[in-house]
Structures are given as C-alpha cells and as structure tokens.
Structure 1
C-alpha cells in the first residue's frame, strides 16, 4: 500500500558508511524521510539500526547500483512507500588502484566506471519517474575535485595527488553527465559536489576533514529551492571550476 509522503523524501546511495551515512544522518535530523540505500544488507541494516539508537529514522533499501535488476527492485521498494521522491543523492562510488597512467590496464578503468559512471546513470534514470512527481526535485552527484581538469592541471596542486587514470577520469565523466542531465532536465535542480579531502575509507581515513564537513556541500545542494542553481559544481565554500 502506498503511503502518502508529507516530509521531504531523500534517497542516498552508498549510505551504509562514510559520506553517505553522514548525509543520511543529517537529513534525518532535518526531519526528512530518509531511504538509506546500500549494496551490503548487513551493513545497511546496521546503519539504520544505529541511527535508530540515536532517535533518528531511516528505511533501508537494498541496492547494488551495478545491477539493473537490483536497481529496479529498489525503485519498486521506494515507490511502494512514497508517491514521490524529492531528492536523490548519488553517493555510491569506488576508488581505483593508484597505478601510474602508463601502467594502468583498461580493466582497471572498466571496474571503476561501472560504479561511478554507469551505476549513477542507471540509478538516475530509474528514479526519474518518482522525482518528477515532486514539486522541487533535486539530484546531487557526489563527485570529486580529482575530476576537475582545472584543479588537477594547476601546478600549485600537482603535488597533492600523483597522476592516475581510473578515479579522476570517472569523476570527470560524472561531472559531464551532471552537466548534460541539467541541460536536458531543466525542471530539476541537478548539481555535482566535491566533498573535499575527507577522512573516510576511500582515503584510508587520511583526509583532514570530518565526514560532517565533507557532507556540507551535499546537504546544501540537496536543500536548494526551485530557483536554486543547476548544472554546477560546488564544494562547501561555493562554486568551483570544472
């Protein structure tokens, strides 16, 4: 039976840990209805249970974004519980081996693109019908400064990260995907965000930002009005170059 949604509804992918989990927690503190999606059922249900122990509510959605069948099942699960979705946060992503470009086999790129690019497109397309049912639908693509050509080509920043192919290329592709979705869907607010160098599993917890700081841009862009920006790239301090 469909339940009428009154609060802002948000689906966060890859939300069992790190930035996704913290974003889900923050949305819950805002009184939003949170669908917490993750590939691993045990980790996902544990995240929901631990949020509940702090008085916050989220609903677990099993979803492997690399699987058409899994994403369809996730859509059916959410659609049975809410008539529309206000916000989609495409957070799920993977890293890639830090091998030099000349030593990187194509298979390494294929693996990271399958999640960071193809998976994001798969989820976005699947959930568009629910998003279109909302009054002010927003999509936040969790990208990275590593995907910014302007940033990675800046000599002053060159020492911060050695050149690699897989992860930066996948995030650069995600940035272009964001731009093209925004052009094609002017009734939605669609933006990419750079969380910054945050202490998560993806950085082996070496980042200097907390996960709360890392989710500042995610939360801000998820909560913009219908007159807000679209087709942009932002970090917690504002707009940044592609």
Structure 2
C-alpha cells in the first residue's frame, strides 16, 4: 500500500447492546469481533463490525462514572475516532513533529504499528496505523468472516466538525504528505475523503460517514447510528479517474 486509506470509524455509546442491535437492523451487520481483555484495560467494552474491507467499531465505557462515561452522559452517543491506514507510520510521526504535533500513543500491537492523536490537532481522536501486510486488518482473519449484508458498502468519506477546519485539514495534509489548498477543508485520499466543517455550537469530532450505496436507488438515504449520520452515496470516482 503506497497511500493512506480511511479504514475504520469508531462510535461511542452508553449502551453497547442497544447500539449493536440497531447497527444490525439498519446496516445489516453480522456478528463482530471483540478483544474483551485488552479493551477492559482501557475502560471499554466494544465490538468491531465489518462492512466489506472497512469497519465500524462501537465502544461503550464500562464505568459510567469514568471520564469516558461522563463524556457520553454529557454529550450523548456520537462519533469517537477515525482510523486511517498509512504506509509509513514513522514517517508520519517524524513529519508531525515538525509542526509540533506528537502522538499520545505510538506502539506495536499484534505485529502492527499503531498511533493515536489528540483531537486538538486532528479534530477528533484519530488513529494512524501501519498494518502488515497492508491488505489485512486488526483481528484478522476473524474480522473478515462476517461481512455486512445491508444497504451500505465500504466507507468512502467521513466528516469531522471542529472550530478551525482549515487548520485541522492542514495538519492532516502535512502529516499524510497530501496537498490541500489554504482555503480547502477536504482531504482527498486516493479512495476516500475526510471533510472538515465548522462545529459552531454543534457537536465536535466525527459527525458523519458516507457509505457506498449497494442499491443505486437508495443513494441519498441517511441512517442514524449512535448520533452519527451514515449517508448512502453513489460509488465515487477515484483520483485519476473521470467521473
């Protein structure tokens, strides 16, 4: 893999079972995978759900009085994190240091190199991972065994709401080695987009996700899950292709 990919979004909820039931009802997810022991160390329970080659993870705080539990109680269910696969994580870390941005986590995990980054720099909690080999993903092969049988295919875009969309878009572009105009607030990856919008008085962080509409007649349909808008969209042209 020679370019970044938007591979996963993470949602947070107060009630994991209810959120999973809705996810299966509206997006046709099958059984997901869990790492109960490791996530419990972080204060969460979770499940990773598979679309086709991209993923939706739903997490819930184990302790409602923890900082994460209070966050959900204060703000309600919502977007929690965007996960982008990168070909050279150390290169990203080195480049980020040049603009004064450092990861809050940078470590090896089950043969992969992972990092997490603070929302103040990237608009949402973000995870940038170098996966080996590039075509696999966390929890493989089990994570590929039960793909969704619903209206949506893979993730092709997400939207992050932040007080300063231009600055945040610029941080992402610099770290990932991509071009973005001074007034541009859309990060165009070869296969996906990450869009940055002004949060105003509304929620901040991950607020919307686009999925390929497997039935073209359903393009434009919006499905709400954990406070995040999932929109079914036509298959986008990739960079370098004509629309």
Please confirm whether the aligned pair reaches a TM-score higher than 0.5, indicating the same fold.
no
Task: Answer 1 or 2: higher relative contact order, Cα 8 Å, separation at least 6.
Answer: 2
Output the TM-score relative to the length of structure 1: 0.35
Output the TM-score relative to the length of structure 2: 0.35
Greater helix proportion? 1
Greater strand proportion? 2
